Amino acid sequence: MNATPSTDVQPVPVHVTGIDEGLALAGAAAPRRRVGCRAYTVVLTAASPVQEILALDGKRAYALVQAGGNQAVINNNFAEINNAANVAAGLPAPVGMMLPYGNTTPTRIPGGERWWAAAAAYPTQVTVLAVQED
């Protein structure tokens, strides 16, 4: 049976009851989040070749890190970042993620875990941009 569509559409009255939450209407704005960021640079030297670059932070959504001056290694495991391979000349077999110097694209680290950086050539700068959300 073929039905021809009608050009007159009659609205149906609707009454909603028993809803504890507000209705999300099309085009309604999403709730706003507070976002903050903090930028800093950690300098690795011969006197301190391993340093914490990100502290434990439950509000941190992600961080962007980038090495400058020399390459660095980052890791979220303190025992692994202190491996002798991470301070060996030339970093032939690093234990962690390599941050090459001169790279213009920062590395994104999700979440709020602790992270450390190590270097074998000095000085090495590790620039951090930590983004927090409430």
Instruction: Indicate whether 122 belongs to any domain.
Output: yes
Percentage of residues of the chain with pLDDT beyond 70: 87
Cis amide leading into 5 (omega within 30): no
Instruction: Indicate whether 72 belongs to any domain.
Output: yes
pLDDT digits (tens, 9 = 90+) for 5-17: 666 788 888 777 7
Q: What's the structural domain count of the chain?
A: 1
What distance in Å separates the CA atoms of residue 43 and residue 13, rounded to the nearest whole number? 67
The predicted model scores a pTM of 0.75
Range of the domain at 84: 42-133
The edge-to-edge listing of strands for the beta sheet with 35-44 is 35-44, 124-133, 60-68, 107-110
CATH, residue 54: 2.60.120.770
SS3 state at 90: coil
Nearest CA among 130, 132, 66, 51 for reference residue 97: 66
Instruction: Indicate whether 33 belongs to any domain.
Output: no
Instruction: Indicate whether 50 belongs to any domain.
Output: yes
Query: What is the arithmetic mean of pLDDT over 68-77?
Result: 95
